């Protein structure tokens, strides 16, 4: 029986300012067996602490290495020169150091939440019923986007990593795409879903290939949203469900949702095949617990972003949910839910910091609860933003 594993989610900035020969032994002393290193990430402003207080602005869709464009098929979207490093020295140094001490380096990549590519290629982004482009969200149905996903995967998996941590390989909601978003009206979950439902040419064509009429459905969605646009949201206070959508739009919406899920599942299948050819495992960084932060059964909402957990579970090696909850009881409920619904190998992602954690004892209780639920592998987010005390708390929690 192997020992439990624990990885720290890590930005490249840690290694821009410290050598891996310094960082990796320190992390091993804490109890970490590896890191999930962000090699393709979205825009953010972060208060980082590892090398002193620093507000760091991360560029959107940036690749923290020099891409190998031979891994990309003709017609694929590719990172532009301003969106990647001009060399791979940082990554190569980290991997070489880690190999000598048997420390896992996993590539952490944000696949489709990418404003850099979206602004350069708006035709490849999610497009709603009004023709509005969600420039921060690449559409998984688009052939050039799918080719980008495969090229990015092949490139990362060729570099000596242990595992590919896959984030944002799905459709997205209407919000949390940009820095300052303004919706001066309250959106019900149903309205938000319909407003962000993609009807780009690729989605329309794929549905037509399955015998569906996406243009007729698009017209129904436009009509259903008219009361919200003109006066009020008719679905405030009501949860969004498949049955409700079928009542509003007719049964064809269910077929449209199934087509979306098939598209996403196919991409996970492609990525995993590519990874396995390089002896790299795959893990889905599952954001379902963030769709409704109060839910103890978050996988029930995966369909909102086009994920069929039954199909994806058959493909990926590991499910890695973001179990961002404030109490050990809530953490345990979600761990039990994942065990029952997807099973297999599951790694919990925990934040040892605000807003999820208040003390060393809180963190110990959460770790103990996860282990009782059979989740012995636990990853922690985010190394660059942790205080020294947070690492102490992690060490105590892992060693109990």
The predicted-structure confidence for 273-311, as pLDDT tens digits, reads as follows 999 999 999 999 999 999 999 999 999 999 999 999 999
> Is 94 within the bounds of a domain?
yes
Question: pLDDT tens for residues 53-68?
Answer: 988 888 889 999 999 9
pLDDT tens-digit map of 210-245 = 999 999 999 999 999 999 999 999 999 999 999 999
Is 24 a domain residue?
yes
Both tokens of residue 342?
Answer: 């997807």
Q: Flag whether 295 is in a domain.
A: yes
Q: Dig out the tokens for 211 from the structure.
A: 């015998």
pLDDT, one tens digit per residue, over 313-336 is 999 999 999 999 999 999 999 999
- Expressed as residue numbers, the domain containing 161 is 7-121+136-193+266-399
The Cβ of residue 199 has, within 10 Å, a number of other Cβ atoms equal to 22
For residue 308, give both structure tokens. 């069929």
Asked if the model's pLDDT at residue 184 lies above 80, the reply is no
Give the count of domains, the chain: 1
The yes-or-no verdict on residue 85 having pLDDT over 90 is yes
| CATH code of the domain containing 299 | 3.20.20.80
Examine residue 209 and state whether it is found in any structural domain, yes or no.
no
pLDDT band at 182 (very low <50, low <70, confident <90, very high): low
Could you tell me if residue 243 is inside a domain? no
Q: Cβ of 348: how many Cβ atoms within 10 Å?
A: 26
Residue 2 domain-assigned (yes or no)? no
Segment 351-390, tens digit of pLDDT: 999 999 999 999 999 999 999 999 999 999 999 999 999 9
Q: Which residues contact 31 (CB under 8 A, 6 or more apart)?
A: 6, 394, 395, 398, 399
Count Cβ atoms below 10 Å from residue 207 Cβ, excluding itself.
24
The answer to the question of residue 199 being in a domain is: no
Residues 6+ apart with CB under 8 A from 190: 235, 238, 240, 244, 245, 248
Helix (H, G, I), strand (E, B) or coil at 14: helix
Instruction: Give the CA count within 13 Å in the CB-facing half-sphere of 311.
Output: 18
Query: What pLDDT does 176 receive?
Result: 67
Confidence of residue 52 (pLDDT cuts 50, 70, 90): confident
Spatial distance between the Cα atoms of 10 and 382, rounded to a whole number of angstroms: 6
Is 256 domain-assigned?
no
CA–CA separation, 303 vs 288, rounded Å? 10
């Amino acid at each position: 029986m192997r020992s439990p594993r624990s990885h720290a989610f890590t930005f490249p900035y840690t290694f821009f300012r410290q050598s891996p020969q310094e960082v990796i032994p320190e992390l091993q002393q804490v109890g970490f067996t590896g890191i999930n290193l962000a090699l393709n990430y979205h825009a953010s402003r972060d208060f980082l602490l590892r090398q002193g207080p620093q507000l760091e602005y991360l560029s959107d869709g940036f690749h923290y290495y020099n891409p190998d464009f031979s891994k990309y098929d003709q017609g694929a979207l590719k990172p532009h020169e301003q969106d990647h490093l001009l060399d791979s020295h940082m990554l190569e140094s980290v991997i070489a150091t880690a190999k000598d001490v048997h420390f896992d380096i996993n590539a952490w990549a944000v696949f489709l939440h990418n404003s850099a590519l979206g602004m350069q290629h708006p035709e490849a982004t999610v497009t709603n019923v009004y023709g509005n482009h969600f420039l921060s969200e690449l559409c998984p149905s688009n052939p050039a986007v799918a080719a980008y996903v495969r090229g990015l995967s092949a490139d990362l998996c060729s570099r000596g990593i242990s595992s590919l941590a896959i984030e944002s390989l799905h459709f997205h909601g209407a919000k949390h795409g940009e820095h300052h978003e303004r919706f001066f009206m309250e959106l019900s979950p149903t309205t938000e879903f319909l407003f962000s439902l993609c009807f780009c040419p690729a989605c329309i064509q794929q549905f037509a290939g399955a015998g569906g009429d996406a243009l007729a459905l698009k017209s129904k969605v436009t009509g259903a949203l008219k009361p919200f646009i003109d006066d009020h949201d008719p679905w405030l206070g009501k949860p969004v469900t498949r049955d409700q959508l079928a009542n509003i739009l007719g049964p064809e919406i269910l077929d449209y949702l199934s087509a979306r899920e098939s598209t996403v599942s196919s991409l996970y299948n492609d990525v995993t095949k590519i990874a396995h050819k390089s002896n790299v495992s795959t893990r889905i960084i599952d954001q379902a617990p963030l769709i409704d932060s109060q839910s103890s059964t978050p996988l029930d909402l995966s369909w909102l972003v086009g994920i069929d957990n039954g199909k994806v579970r058959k493909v990926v090696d590991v499910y890695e949910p973001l179990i961002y909850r404030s109490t050990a009881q809530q953490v345990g409920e979600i761990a039990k839910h994942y065990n029952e619904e997807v099973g297999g190998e599951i790694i919990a992602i925990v934040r040892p910091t605000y807003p999820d954690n208040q003390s060393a004892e809180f963190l110990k209780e959460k770790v103990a609860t996860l282990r009782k639920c059979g989740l012995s592998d636990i990853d922690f987010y985010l190394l660059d933003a942790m205080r020294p005390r947070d690492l102490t708390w992690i060490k105590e929690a892992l060693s109990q």
